[in-house]
A and B are shown apart, each in its own frame.
Chain A
Amino acid sequence: MNRYPLFLLALVLMCTSCIKDELPNTECDITSAWVEGDEYAENFYEPSQMRLENISTTENELVFTVRSLISLPKSMPLYFNITPGATISPANGSPQDFTQGPVTYTVTSQDGSWKREYTVMFKEASLPTFTFSFENYETKESSSNYYHEFYEIDQTGMRQNIWASGNLGAILIKYNSQAEDQPTYSTPDGYKGRGVCLNTQYAGELGKAFGKPIAAGNLFIGRFILENVLIDALKATQFGRPIDRVPVRVTGYYKYQPGSVFTNKEMQEVPGRVDEASIYAVFYRNKDAQGNDVYLYGDDVLSSPYIVRKAQVATLPPTNDWTRFEMFFEGSDADEALLAAQGYNMTLVFSSSKDGASFEGAVGSVLYIDEVAISFDNDEN
């Protein structure tokens, strides 16, 4: 009879340990996209450009690089890998006309309650412009936080999202913050019109707990892959876009003031050390010997063997007045055939703390940037 309570206990444990049936997936991402068929290969410089792999969850614009939009077939099937159970419209693999501009795809989650829209476009490669006035920005929202995204407009009037920043990483631990609260934002006080403000911030108790106590303002040509920010922060910054000519010189205007206390990765003061801003540009080969894509990341952007030439501003003395900077590329020459085949990438990087990528710097360091221009061999001005 005394076993009765034990029986009750067993009953309770049984009830509370029942695992319910798995609910349908709520996610609705495109994880990869590709053009299938050898007949389309001639439209691309490399077979690898027919595929977009590891598409970040922060991206809703998928861009394929083609040789020429004019020779692109009017009807071409595009295939996608999407979250298991999700559906995509227009249908996966259905032929679409991408020559008339972007095509919008909608992915609906398995449970039907979440949707994501993607625009897919085919573009001719290379940077759309070589002068950057930073007049174009969009205020975007992520989990009740706002931030600015810089973009350029190409000759055809199309928007080109060539600029990336670590804003989304900094936002991860924030709530109800404004665009001007972020490490990188558009300021009305540019050298001409609007400009960029980059500032180094304290990343809060949580940032500290993640071993990432500060967030430096940064802006660069490339992509920010938020997925990697906790497991390998240096792999979150993917640098470079294809460029079809060889850069010689970069000029622009800046203002800079370092923050007062320089701290290390543990957020401990490093006495005597003064924070520095950094501005540099790298021109590199974007294919390895096997024809695979090569990108530079935070850990090798200045040291990779694929670098052909690079430019760095030696010092950026603190100043409260807009001051001109100039840097020249040094290194070897580019291969003309490779250049014509979109075989080179270029990045341009600005940061309010030189070692911000390894979370060393001074909270409060502020760098302003405006009116940046890249000059070329055949451009004698």
Chain B
Amino acid sequence: MKKNFIIIMAVALALISGQAMAQDTESWTIKARVGYSIGGTAPLGIPATIRSIDKFSLTPSLMAGADVSFPLQNQWGLMTGLRIENKAMKVDVTTKGYRMEVVKGDSKIEGLFTGHVSQDVTEWMFTLPVLATYKLSNKVTLKGGPYVSVLFNKDFSGIASDGYLRQGDPVGPKIIMGDKPGEWATYDFSDDLRNCQMGLEVGADWQVHEHLGLSADLNWGLTGIFKGDFKTVEQTLYPIYGTIGAYWKF
């Protein structure tokens, strides 16, 4: 998977550089973008141990960047760039028998939690997309391709409260968790988050005016957000975010 991705990247970059030299520089298009993302870091299919999603709060999932695109032939073209973005999530769920484990230093608490979980995810990253573009009309350009992201600020933490833990398994001792510090369990898996993510991106640019345009993109993570050896969160969580943005075409 990783290898394929690197090959695609290399081919794409070779094409870009080759084309760039061949093309008249005036056919290049540079776009500066800002956007707002909404989505989630979630398993593909919510496990049955999550009984309801009680609250999904908007987070400062902002994006800013610039990219360069140039035509290849007919309607086709290539686009690449660099953006800084945050894929964040804040969600409150109700669980029933959700497996959790909290390790701190030499102490550990683990078992099945039934109650309220408040989850925070923040992932600030630099993202490099390499996209094929297809000019549908003078105004609308479709785009799609892989991206790779490098994280520089990450947080995955939360609180388990208002419920109880069965230590170990469903017949283990029950420990009631309350609704304030000292009575609830906090967890922090920030250090177990991967530093590098990759995925696929599809979207469209819509040239509204001469310079100003609107965009919509979907970023679908293909790598789980946690390192391979991290087993505490049973499900593999993928970052899946949609971005609504505006751009300025120079």
Contacts and interface: CB of A to CB of B under 8 A. Distances in A.
B182 A210 contact: yes
Contact of B176 (A1, A142, A230): A230
Given A16-B45, A19-B46, A174-B108, A1 B175 contact: no
A143 to B, nearest CB: 4
B48 A229 contact: no
A155 to B, nearest CB: 32
Given A5-B218, A13-B39, A114-B170, A204 B176 contact: no
User: Could you tell me the dominant secondary structure of chain B's interface residues?
Assistant: strand
Contact of A5 (B109, B169, B202): B202
B209 interface: no
Contacts of A18: 45-46
A365 B185 CA distance: 28
**Contact size range, A:** 35 or more
A57 interface: yes
Contacts of A143: 110-111, 167-168, 172-173
Nearest to B136: A1
Contact of A20 (B48, B108, B168): B48
A226 B168 CA distance: 14
A142 B167 contact: yes
A19 B164 CA distance: 21
Interface string A5-46: 110110011011111111100111100000000000000000
A289 interface: no
A363 interface: no
A319 B49 CA distance: 54
A338 interface: no
Interface stretch (B50-58, B72-80, B146-154): B50-58
Interface string A143-186: 11000000000000000000000001000111100000000000
Given A9-B218, A206-B104, A109 B168 contact: no
A204 B105 CA distance: 7
Contacts of A209: 104, 186
Contacts of B158: none
A206 B172 contact: no
A8 B181 contact: no
B183 interface: yes
B102 A206 contact: yes
Nearest to B177: A230
B203 A5 contact: yes
A260 interface: no
B62 to A, nearest CB: 17
A17 B168 contact: no
Nearest to B240: A12
A229 B104 CA distance: 19
Question: Which 5 interchain pairs have the tightest Cβ spacing?
Answer: A204-B107, A143-B168, A205-B104, A211-B182, A205-B105
